[in-house]
Amino acid sequence: MEDDFYATLKLRSGEEIFARVAASEEEDRTMLILHNPITVVEIKSKNGLVGYKVEPWLRTSRDDMFIVNLDNVITMSECQDMEMMVLHQQFVHDTGNGRGSAKINRRMGYISSVNDAKEILEKIYKNSNNKS
């Protein structure tokens, strides 16, 4: 197994992903081990500012490592862009090793228990029926 490196991969499926990659020879084929693969989408605001939306490659999985057969890769480009590497590392750090969600805090919105929320919603519902 060779050293890890950052790379952008274009898969046969059309997906473009960015990950820390390690190559591994298995019998007669080459496998790629992808660590915390992400997708990056450029977002442009109305006033011309450009930003990036970073998401995990597979949103429904909690795994942080995936194996891809090299036959499923159209092209791969090793990344030398420090900004992309830092973006990936920040995503991994912020999401607890690349999976899950960021830590919840009060600035994200109101935090309550299920029972508290249920009571509040029931009161709203009852009050709206009384006014009709």
In a domain, residue 112? The reply is no
Please tell me the number of Cα atoms within 13 Å of 121 on its side-chain side: 7
DSSP 48: S
User: For residues 39 and 24, what is the distance between their CA atoms, to the nearest angstrom?
Assistant: 23
| Tens of pLDDT, residue by residue, the chain (132 residues) | 458 999 999 999 999 999 999 998 888 888 999 999 999 888 888 888 888 889 999 988 888 899 999 999 999 999 998 988 998 998 888 887 545 555 656 665 666 677 877 888 888 888 877 765
Q: Which of 65, 1, 72, 76 is nearest to 33 (CA)?
A: 65
In a domain, 122, yes or no: no
> Looking at the domain assignment, is residue 113 inside a domain?
no
CATH of the domain at 27: 2.30.30.100
Domain that includes residue 29, residue range: 5-105
Number of domains comprising the chain: 1
Q: What is the pTM of this model?
A: 0.67
Please indicate, yes or no, if residue 114 is contained in any of the structural domains. Answer: no
Classify residue 17: in a domain, yes or no.
Answer: yes
**116 within a domain of the structure (yes/no):** no
